[in-house]
Structure 1
Amino acid sequence: MKKRFFVDWPRKKQLLFLLGLLVWAVLAVWMFMDQDDPKPSNMKKTPTDAAVSGSQPPQSEGTSSVSNMPSYTQADKQAAKQVAETFVPLYTTYKVEQINSMVESIRPYVTDRFYEQEKENAANVRPTAEFFQFRFVKMDGSYIEPMDSDLYWTSTITVESIHADGSKEQEQYDYAIRLRNEGTSWKVAEVEMHAV
């Protein structure tokens, strides 16, 4: 005789199934209630999203973009852009076993905090049998705008990974770099990258 769905299950299995169904129902109701919320979102786009869509992050109601943000001149933007465009090829070109030399090469272009963070990360990198070296190939366009009292530079970067067997593979990443004015110069304070 064929067992019937749910009715012929052991008691524990029935309770577990009902509990799972209840959790699923609560999540479904919560998701639909959240979609019906008429309040506008105050979330900002990430710098990468803003660069890809070509739009500026939305301003929250009652504030202007000028009120809390310093005004930057074209010279400020050009100086920050130059730092980012010098930094990226250095940051994306290195041999895995010599990663510390890459960290030292970026030092003049980054904040002390970013340098210490990268130095710590480099200490944890272990060479693998697969990857041997990474090499900057090209930068496709760039965009720089103020956000949260700093400047954000974005661009699509092509990097070549060179495997231990000599084979090469090119990959593209969207980079978003936060640049901070430290007195007389601009420094990289943060880097985000996402595969394209």
Structure 2
Amino acid sequence: MGSKCIRRIMWASSWRGLGTSRRKPDGLREAGERPREAPYRQYHEGVKSLKIIRDTRRSFDLDRFLQKPLFAHLSTQSSEGPRHSPIWFLWEEEQLWFIGTTADTFPNRILHQPACAIGIVDYDPRSGGVFHAGFRGRAEVLPYEHNRVRRLLSRYLGPNEPLWDPRFQNLGDGCVLIRFTPETAVVRDQSYAVGEGDRELPMPEE
């Protein structure tokens, strides 16, 4: 095969999958044309090893979402079936970190079966905002790290440690850190429109 044919094949291969329509670069749009929303992966250049799954038309910035002090829900496996644990978390180094205390049973389950899943939801019933991130991956039990634990707890309790609830002060004895490395993440914006008559929601009875 001649060098000209090889160059033609390489040039054609580099354009496969782009379709037949021509897209203008972002800076060369026609006047009045609305800018296209950037692909979701462009918002996550730091999360390179994580496979992001978007199976709906709406999504959100995963990194910003994980900076909020939300509850995560850890699903682990045991010989008696699946188990669920609500946890506080810290998102660092493209991994989720959380604390295991002497009262927790999930560290032992992770030692025996590292594969697990984590779900996080940010829900505002008054605005209709529903943002969900679901992770699958593997966790491991690591020694306690005071500085990382402090960063984790300050997200929920504030920066002034002397004002924390006594249960969260001076942790360390018998505690461990769990490091969850996600392999896939399903990221969905499932928000819905709220009518004016639906804004006053009944509160649960005491």
Larger radius of gyration: 1
TM range (shorter): under 0.3
State the TM-score, normalizing by the size of structure 2.
0.24
Structure with bigger RCO (C-alpha 8 Å, 6+ apart)? 2
Question: Which of the pair is proportionally richer in helix?
Answer: 1
